[in-house]
Amino acid sequence: MKNTVFTGAGTALITPMTKDGVDYKTFADLIEWQIAEGIDALVIAGTTGEGSTLDDAEHREVLRFSVEQIRHRVPVIAGTGSNDTAYAIDLTKYACEIGADAMLLVTPYYNKATQGGLYASFKAIAEESTKPCILYNVPSRTGCNLAPATTAKLAELPNIVGIKEASGNISQIVETAALCGDKLDIYSGNDDQIIPLLSLGGMGVISVLSNLLPKETSLLCHKYFEGDTKGALAMQLGYLPLVNALFSEVNPIPVKAAMAAMGFGENYVRLPLTPMEEAHAEKLYAEMTKAGIKIK
């Protein structure tokens, strides 16, 4: 069995921004609130953190700032994947040097790859990393699916310890779990499938919902781990309307609107993303209120 990076809920953290750049004051406040609320890990500059529209200098500064702000109180998982393997290696080396605890490596987007290419790319990155790597399978965004057989082959590499599974394909995830066993930790990448993934032996979730509800999302996972499966399921089902509202437009548009409504910075996303449509936003705010979230 390999070392587990975290169990429970890891927030795929937003990157607060204004038209002038990253809002580091709000970013620090958000990190402190997440930790105070009991989050189990923080993922920096992933999809939800708009890593794809951070330029290289910003991406590195966001990672460095986060590592220094968090100060090893929870694991820092750095989003260092790319469709350019050489760039992913360079960014991964940097994240290792500054003290990130693990890497999140998305499958190559746009140019995609064969299964052989996926294996070769992830292997090349993992061999250059001094920290554990978590694969990220999200074919709806990348156009590229990481097959269970390829995942199992990658799980044989010492530095590849986990996978964030956001394919939504439960049958595929069952096959991955069967092939990998204790060689790979599985995390749900979809907030509406936390319980199904935990029931397959998953270690938790890398979550958008936990931007808003870090304590509750962590509690959902830990209830399940402690044997309160009915209580965990009730939470999963109870938050489903809010989860659906958070994905009524492409992530992270809704969660950025939600966090701004909670007082964490501006409702600002970078093009090609645009602010949430008013009708969707009204439904989101209504579901937040029903969930007990105070809107400022």
Q: Which residues are catalytic?
A: 136, 164
Name, in order, each residue with C-beta under 8 angstroms of 70's C-beta and a sequence gap of 6 or more. Answer: 31, 35, 42, 76
For residues 154 and 186, what is the distance between their CA atoms, to the nearest angstrom? 13
Residue 224 carries which DSSP code?
H
Residues 6+ away with beta carbon under 8 Å from 20: none
Using an 8 Å Cβ cutoff, are 81 and 136 in contact? yes
- Return phi, psi of residue 135, to 5°: -70, 160
Q: Would you say 256 and 267 are in contact if contact means Cβ atoms under 8 Å apart? A: yes
Q: How far apart are CA 56 and CA 175, in angstroms?
A: 37
Strand-pair category, 21-22 with 17-18: antiparallel
Cα–Cα distance, 258 to 255 (Å, whole number): 5
Only one residue has tokens 């950025």, namely: 256
Q: Residue 44, exposed/middle/buried by CB under 10 A (0-12, 13-18, 19+)?
A: buried
- In this structure, the strands spanning 160-165 and 21-22 are unpaired
Within its chain, how far is the Cα of 95 from the centroid? Answer: 16
